[in-house]
Structure 1
Amino acid sequence: MAKIRLMIVDDHEVVRLGMRAAFELESDINVVGEAGNGAEALAKINVFMPEVILMDVRMEKMGGIEACREIRSQYPQVSVLMITSYPDDEAVTASIMAGASGYLLKNVSRVELLKAVRQVASGQSLLKTEAAKKAIAQMTNLANHNEATPADGLTDREREVLALVARGYTNKQIAEALYLSEKTARNHVSHILEKLGLARRSEAAAYAVEHKLTQPKAQ
């Protein structure tokens, strides 16, 4: 029987080693490679050819949600299983919209982790029904807000910031990318949420994807 080709992506080497150890004795799972962030994972997919990627949500350079979105777009045959240290409804929703097949906490038992990888590899989704319903409801609400809060009111700079928010950038990463102070980046995000009538970054990211605002406005 062919082994499941698994890739582990986490920015902490000790965590990667621990997760690799959890699979070492399994006859049906082969850890084909590792990466320290989303950008590195994207660069290595053609080398390792994984079937499943176990992906940390929060990482420097490129976070797991942005990387998941890119991977699912470029390599739809690859399943992504998100894993994180803390429960976060916004991250669950964003993961669903990015195309993840599952979402786990790092304190999950070894048995549960193995089961999750096998289920995802077989094509099953591990996302809880309530989380999926929440994401769908969120997208519906955003669509209903379209006429009342048009994105036309955003400045070109705010569109640039919104595009980066949709890609999972933190305020610090936005500041670095656009050569701003972190405070200015945070203010831009606040203004965007206010103009769009939204409350959370994940809602802004969903709005950007739904309304094709993931690229800055053309000059």
Structure 2
Amino acid sequence: MTKIRLMIVDDHEVVRLGMRAAFELESDIQIVGEASNGGEAVAKISVLDPQVILMDVQMEKMDGIEACREIKSRYPHIQVLMITSFTNEEAVMASIVAGASGYLLKNVSRSELLKAIRHIASGQSLLDPQQAQQVMSRMTAGNISTPGEDLTEREREVLALVARGYTNKQIAEALYVSEKTARNHVSHILEKLGLSRRSEAAAFAVEHKLVPPQKHSSDDH
């Protein structure tokens, strides 16, 4: 029997241990390795040679979506299954665009997770049942979300400043708000975009042209 070579990528050790326990008794699945973030996963692939990667969406250093994009560009034959603790439609869309074969919530049952792994290992695509109908209908209709469309006008201003390298204190000064308010705006932006780091938000803003040409202050970076 040819076993499915599986790699687990999650920044929480307890989660990785739990997933490993879910797969170790399966005769058709071989866990070839683990990684705690996307960057580590990308670096280990050439040695571990996984067939399927179970990838957390939100991680430090390099998130799952960015890692998926990098992996699929280098190793298009590898199937990536995104898994997350929360429902985020924009993250689902970003995962699909990045080349993921599926997207599941972490509260799925063990049997559902095993079925998903085997499903994508055979080369088929999979979406979480809660997301599939809406996402697929939008893609079929060509009505794909504009990146960052659910950000408020103020959040777009904050994102533009993040992209220019502003700290929370500098954002607060530029927009005449408290530093706590600026920090909260940044947190909300990361949550809405399905990202975990300011640098990722900055890259997202530049990539999707969300940084307006005008400057907010004379000392703009």
What TM-score, normalized by structure 2, do the two folds share? 0.67
What is the letter of the counterpart of residue 8 of structure 1? I
CA contact (8 A) 1:52 1:121 kept: yes
Task: Find 2:143's aligned residue among 137, 140, 145.
Answer: 137
- Aligned residue identity for 1:180: Y
- Look up the equivalent residue of 2:71 and give its one-letter code: I
Change in Cα spacing, 1:33 to 1:180, as seen in structure 2 (3 Å) is same
**Match of 1:9, as an amino acid?**
V
Match of 2:75 in 1: 75
Deviations 1:94-131 (A, max 9, x none): 11111111111111100000000000100111122431
The aligned amino acid for 2:112 is: E
Does structure 1 residue 95 correspond to structure 2 residue 81?
no
Quick check: 1:97–1:206 contact (8 Å CA) kept in 2? no
Deviates more, 1:49-58 or 1:89-98: 89-98
Match of 1:153 in 2: none
Tell me the SS of whatever aligns to 1:54. strand
- Quote the Cα distance in structure 2 between the aligned partners of 1:137 and 1:131: 10
Q: In structure 2, how many angstroms separate the alpha carbons of the residues matched to 1:65 and 1:208?
A: 14
In the TM superposition, residue 207 of structure 1 has moved relative to its aligned partner by: 9.3
Instruction: Name the residue aligned to 2:3.
Output: 3
1:179 positional shift: 5.2
> Residue in 2 aligned with 1:208?
207
1:181 aligns with 2:187: no
The verdict on how the C-alpha distance between 1:183 and 1:80 changes in structure 2, with shifts beyond 3 A counting, is farther
Q: Secondary structure at the match of 1:32?
A: strand
Q: 1:159 to 1:111 in 2, by over 3 A?
A: same
Deviation at 1:70, TM superposition (A): 0.7
Deviation at 1:22, TM superposition (A): 0.3
1:85 equivalent in structure 2: 85
Amino acid at match of 1:12: H
Change (3 A) 1:179 1:205: closer
> CA–CA distance in 2 between the matches of 1:24 and 1:131?
33
State the identity as a percent. 61
Give the whole-Å Cα distance in 2 for the aligned partners of 1:108 and 1:101. Answer: 17
The one-letter amino acid of 2:207's match is: A
2 CA distance for matches of 1:85 and 1:73?
Answer: 26
Q: Which stretches in structure 1 are left out of the alignment for 5+ residues?
A: 143-156, 162-177, 189-199, 214-219
Scaled by the length of structure 1, the TM-score of the pair is: 0.67
1-structure distance, mates of 2:63, 2:36: 10
* Cα deviations by residue, 1:109-155 (Å, 9 ceiling, x for unpaired): 0000000000010011112243133354126x68xxxxxxxxxxxxx
Change (3 A) 1:184 1:31: farther
Instruction: Flag the structure with larger Rg.
Output: 2
Segments of 4+ moved more than 6 angstroms: 185-188
Distance 1:31 1:132 in 2: 31
CA distance in 1, matches of 2:39, 2:25: 29
Superposed counterparts of 1:38-53, under 5 Å: 38-53=38-53
Which residue is equivalent to 2:218? none
Amino acid at match of 1:88: N
- One-letter code of the match for 2:6? L
Report if aligned partners of 2:161, 2:171 keep a CA contact under 8 Å in 1.
no
Moved more, 30-39 or 95-104: 95-104
